[in-house]
Amino acid sequence: MKKNILVILVSLLTLSALTSCAEDFLVEKPVTDIYADNLLTNYSGFESMNYALLSMVRDEYGRMDINYGSTDFGSLPFAKSTMWSCGTDNAWGNNRHTSFRFFNFPKNIVGMTDEACFLSLFEWLYKVVNTANMVIERAENPDVDWAGGSAAADQAHKEQIVAEARLYRAWAYRHLTYSFGDVPLSTAEITGANYRVDWERNPVSEIRGLMEEDLKYAVEKLPWRQAGNNTKPNQAIARHYLGELYLAMGKPSEAKAVLQPLVEGGDYRLMTSRFGKNANNPGSAFIDVFRSPLYTDGNSEVLWAFLNTEEENTSYGNSTVIFMRNMWVNYYSNDSAISKLTCALYPGQTPILFWSLNGGKGAGRCAISLGAHKLWNYDNQKDNDVRYDENSMVWHLYFLDDNGEKYEVQNFINLKTNAAMSNDNDPTIKQYKLPSTRKWQYVNPVFEKSNADNQFNNMVYLRLAETYLLYAEALYKLNDAAGAAEWINKVRRRANCSEIPASVVSIDFILDERSRELITEEQRRETLIRLSQENGGDERRADNIFKSRVRAHNEVSGREVRGMHDDVTPVLFPIPQEFINSNTGRAIQQNPGY
């Protein structure tokens, strides 16, 4: 029996305390069955609740079939983040699942209002909203012991807690509005006393007003970093999202003003010299950013990093399992040429040995489009761009001979198509010879676990390089093409590729550079929707940025019969039908096209 979707707007009755230590919170022992009424009485309790919120946010990199929504995903796990990064101009679904068939065939989305992927996203994000509301509302209780030792210190502790929760709430509504459009606006903790079945879809403009207030509060109240690390909410994250919000609202001047202290200040900087635990290995500062994402590693570029650790070392309550490598590293071992490899020193262990030598197991759920690869042809930069070299992309695969000597598996990686990519019956593509990004690579230190699906390294979530490109967009929209070119060139200089003149700058070029810099990191769908909706634009129009770029750069999703050539195929996700059916006190209208 399906559970009522309205539970997404009901308060969580219990939450596990996830710690009070900054960077070590994942390894603390849990305090079980702590009710919110008992937990939210002092500063330590509020910190624990905010760590629970952070754990929910981290689940963007986790499987969709764990903790939230329906478990009807079959045997193929997908990370939630793929919902916003695959099926756009620069990626398609390589290992198709029925719930994600719109990655390859956008028109198929019209019959998917009952699909578990949309229900899972909707429920997960509203749990973040409601838990944040709980924190914000209960922080006003005059009996809370803020443990500051003085009235001023008490107020500072309270403001920190509320600012974190408001940033989380804005983060959740950012995803909700870019994904579903108009959605219910909830600003109070939902309990049994105010349970509702008459929700309405509030306009995106109204929700963005709340997001602006929340993010401005976070900018004002949070430091550039908390406790000397980049794993907790901070002012830099709030400024980044507020700048993006102002661009979505058609306010480039405000975007420039809020982003300028971040990009021009000294607290964060683009990493241009080798550093961290990977510094003595072949590579570049660019790939070092992903190998050593913490500020304590010397990384001043990452605004927000996600701590990660093995399941046995973490507090329970939210899964720690991250699946980014599984999504984006191709399933090379499934190819017959790889599966037939043998080494006398490792009898019967071909997959384990292979993945131990090649960055850890991938399952190729998503693939970078050939059109995205062609973006590196600009000014022949593919020959020099460190983001495209063998240290940042998989161009070579290796194995051991019977003597234990490492050798390259010859003539394997290529940029060719296969027949399934143009088969409009929408089969699983399984093109397992394409190159992959190395951003998410991780080899389990236990050899026998080298072919496990999950990973336990710390992860990049938000980087200053993306802020630079947002800032360039704001400047371009303010008719400062020269200024925009300079900020784009800061990114390109670090990549060791040619600088561009002001005459080259356009929204399309900025999107090209975002793809080259942020491929698989960026929530690409949301970027394209934001730009397609500018000045009241309809994201469904065939001539908008979303659909025109999918046609131009995605050789699978952009095929003419697949829906990106018309004005009808939806781009926004459907409102989950279960929510529509359960909201008996008011009729909820579905998004157009469904």
Residue position matching structure tokens 């995106």: 204
Q: Hey, which bits of 441-503 come out as E strands?
A: 459-463
pLDDT for 172-225, tens place per residue?
999 999 999 999 999 999 887 888 899 999 999 999 999 999 999 999 999 999
Average pLDDT on 15-41 reads 48
* pLDDT higher than threshold 90 for residue 53: yes
Give the pLDDT of residue 16: 34
- Greater model confidence, 425 or 551: 551
- Greater model confidence, 258 or 7: 258
pLDDT band at 58 (very low <50, low <70, confident <90, very high): very high
Give the pLDDT of residue 460: 98
* pLDDT higher than threshold 60 for residue 406: yes
Q: What letter does residue 131 receive in the DSSP assignment?
A: H
Q: Are 46 and 302 in contact (CB under 8 A)?
A: no
Give dist(CA 155, CA 150) in Å, integer: 9
Give the pLDDT of residue 427: 75
Q: Are 6 and 40 in contact (CB under 8 A)?
A: no
Give dist(CA 146, CA 460) in Å, integer: 32
Tokens coding 276: 């961290």
Tokens coding 176: 């909700």
Average pLDDT on 519-536 reads 97
- Beta-bridge partners for 14: 35
Average pLDDT on 338-365 reads 96
Give the pLDDT of residue 67: 57
pLDDT for 367-378, tens place per residue?
999 999 999 999
pLDDT band at 408 (very low <50, low <70, confident <90, very high): very high
Give dist(CA 478, CA 491) in Å, integer: 20
Give the pLDDT of residue 552: 98
pLDDT for 451-487, tens place per residue?
999 899 999 999 999 999 999 999 999 999 999 999 9
Question: b/e per residue, 230-265, with b = 16+ CB within 10 A?
Answer: bbbbbbbbbbbbbbbbbbbbebbebbbebbeebbee
pLDDT band at 22 (very low <50, low <70, confident <90, very high): very low
Helices (H) then strands (E): counts for the chain: 19, 6
- Greater model confidence, 12 or 347: 347
* pLDDT higher than threshold 60 for residue 13: no
Domains and CATH numbers, the chain: 5-90+108-271+575-582 (1.25.40.390), 324-460 (no CATH)
- Greater model confidence, 96 or 397: 397
What percentage of the chain carries pLDDT values higher than 70? 91
CA 277 to chain centre: 24
* pLDDT higher than threshold 50 for residue 105: yes
pLDDT for 320-337, tens place per residue?
679 999 999 999 999 999
Closest residue by Cα to residue 463 from 254, 286, 208: 286
SS3 399: strand
Give dist(CA 563, CA 584) in Å, integer: 33
Give the pLDDT of residue 76: 62
Q: What letter does residue 460 receive in the DSSP assignment?
A: E
Average pLDDT on 381-387 reads 96
- Beta-bridge partners for 92: 367
Give the pLDDT of residue 314: 53
Average pLDDT on 354-358 reads 97
Average pLDDT on 5-21 reads 36
pLDDT band at 77 (very low <50, low <70, confident <90, very high): confident
pLDDT for 282-314, tens place per residue?
999 999 999 999 999 999 999 999 998 776 555
Give the pLDDT of residue 193: 80
Q: Are 424 and 270 in contact (CB under 8 A)?
A: no
Give dist(CA 531, CA 545) in Å, integer: 7
Average pLDDT on 556-573 reads 97
**Torsion of Cα atoms, 66 then 71 then 76 then 78, to 10°:** -50
Closest residue by Cα to residue 118 from 538, 578, 532, 529: 578
Give dist(CA 457, CA 448) in Å, integer: 17
* pLDDT higher than threshold 80 for residue 9: no
Give the pLDDT of residue 110: 96
Picking from 15-29, 132-146, 254-268, which range would have the lowest pLDDT averaged per residue? 15-29
pLDDT band at 266 (very low <50, low <70, confident <90, very high): very high
The gap between the terminal CA atoms of the chain, to the nearest Å, is: 25
Return mean pLDDT, the chain: 91
- Greater model confidence, 65 or 358: 358
pLDDT band at 5 (very low <50, low <70, confident <90, very high): very low
- Measured CA distances, 384 to 42, 413, 489, 495, 509 (Å): 55, 19, 15, 8, 19
